[in-house]
Amino acid sequence: MPLVSMNEFLPKAKANKFAVGQFNMNNLEFAQAITEAAIAEKSPFIFGVSEGAIKYMGLEYTVAIAKAAADKSGLPIALHLDHGSTFEVAMQCIRAGFSSVMFDGSHHSFEDNIRLTKEVVRAAHAMGVSVEGELGTIGGVEDDISVDAEHANLAKPEEAIRFYEETGVDALAIAVGTAHGMYSGEPNIHFDIIEEVASKIPVPVVLHGGSGVPDDAIRKSIQAGVGKINVNTENQVACTNAIREVLAKDAKVYDPRKYLTPARNAMVEVVREKIRLFGSNNQA
């Protein structure tokens, strides 16, 4: 199956109250683990790729790996630019084969964010590519982007609704109290904001910073209207912990397959659990 836009599964997710996971791809082992888990759970999913990950893997390798996963699995898979910073980056990704892009204009003024997002939507939709927008700033650290809690502003529902109406995005990330990276304490998720926005726009709300959010809060946010949840940090932690364990046990290991295999297996378990928690199993 070719890579698909998020519109292949997000409308169904919103209507049937489940969420599709965006699992970030950082290398080949991440891609293999995510795909293996989704095949086992018969789930659609989204490969999220940040600009930093594209720099690390190379644009051509990234697209080739995602296409191979879609061909091999037969699952509906979207290849999605995560936190795209400019129109140019979004277009480069689409030309290379991405089926979905996020344009993150949240650091611009509200009016500029609308104007810039609209430009991306117009070009992307002409090519059958879905677009995610962002409103309000999500705290934490992702790649080179760092937003401290003080500057992480919650989205205002009336602005979110106007943002949707003017831009026509296919999914809308709004700052509701989650943060990128791992939490030290428990996040205070504003379910009322999710509910108010989701009830007034036809597309799902996106939850960024899903790593470390308690399962109950995830379920509650999906009931409130979240249809896409981003997971990256938990896979990074599982991967690195597995590698650390192998290396700590045996200082003589030199074959990367000896530590990357357990790392990959650990990520398969994380992704399978998330898919079941999000309710997207058996939805492919």
Nearer to Zn ion, 73 or 232 (CB): 232
Q: Site residues for Zn ion, window 175-194 (CB under 5 A)?
A: none
Name the nearest CA neighbour of 208 among 152, 281, 284, 128. 152
Nearer to Zn ion, 208 or 274 (CB): 208
DSSP label at residue 128: T
Task: For Cα atoms 136, 227, 81, give the angle at the middle one, nearest 5 degrees.
Answer: 65
Cα separation values, 196 from 50, 170, 176, 186, 200, Å: 29, 17, 12, 23, 7
Minimum CB separation from Zn ion for residue 145, in Å?
Answer: 8
The one among 118, 208, 228, 264 contacting Zn ion by CB under 5 A? 208
Nearer to Zn ion, 102 or 198 (CB): 102
State the DSSP H helix or E strand holding residue 228, giving kind and residue range, or none if neither. strand 226-231
Under the binding rule (CB under 5 A), the answer on residue 274 touching Zn ion is no
Q: Contacts with Zn ion: how many residues (CB under 5 A)? A: 1
Minimum CB separation from Zn ion for residue 42, in Å?
Answer: 26
83 backbone dihedrals φ, ψ, rounded to 5°? 50, 50
Determine the residue with CB nearest Zn ion.
208
Cα(153)–Cα(101) distance, integer angstroms: 23
Nearer to Zn ion, 83 or 272 (CB): 83
- Tokens in use for 157? 């529902």
Cα separation values, 265 from 16, 41, 174, 215, 259, Å: 30, 15, 32, 22, 10
Minimum CB separation from Zn ion for residue 281, in Å?
Answer: 24
* Contact track, Zn ion, 56-95, x by CB under 5 A: ----------------------------------------
Minimum CB separation from Zn ion for residue 82, in Å?
Answer: 6
* Contacting range for Zn ion; rule: CB under 5 A; set: 3-11, 65-73, 163-171, 205-213: 205-213
Nearer to Zn ion, 31 or 229 (CB): 229
- Contact partners, residue 85, CB within 8 Å, separation at least 6: 51, 104
- Contact partners, residue 49, CB within 8 Å, separation at least 6: 24, 25, 57, 62, 79, 80, 81, 82, 98
* Contact track, Zn ion, 88-127, x by CB under 5 A: ----------------------------------------
Cα(163)–Cα(165) distance, integer angstroms: 6
Q: How many CB atoms lie within 10 A of CB 179?
A: 23
* Contacting range for Zn ion; rule: CB under 5 A; set: 108-116, 202-210, 231-239, 252-260: 202-210
Nearer to Zn ion, 118 or 208 (CB): 208
* Contacting range for Zn ion; rule: CB under 5 A; set: 72-80, 86-94, 203-211, 242-250: 203-211
* Contacting range for Zn ion; rule: CB under 5 A; set: 30-38, 118-126, 206-214, 265-273: 206-214
Buried residues in 77-90 as b, exposed as e (16+ CB within 10 A)? bbbbbbbbbebebb
DSSP label at residue 125: H
Which of these is catalytic: 82, 104, 216, 255? Answer: 82
**Active-site annotation holds for 104:** no
Q: Which parts of this chain interact with Zn ion (CB under 5 A)?
A: 208
Q: Which residues are catalytic?
A: 82
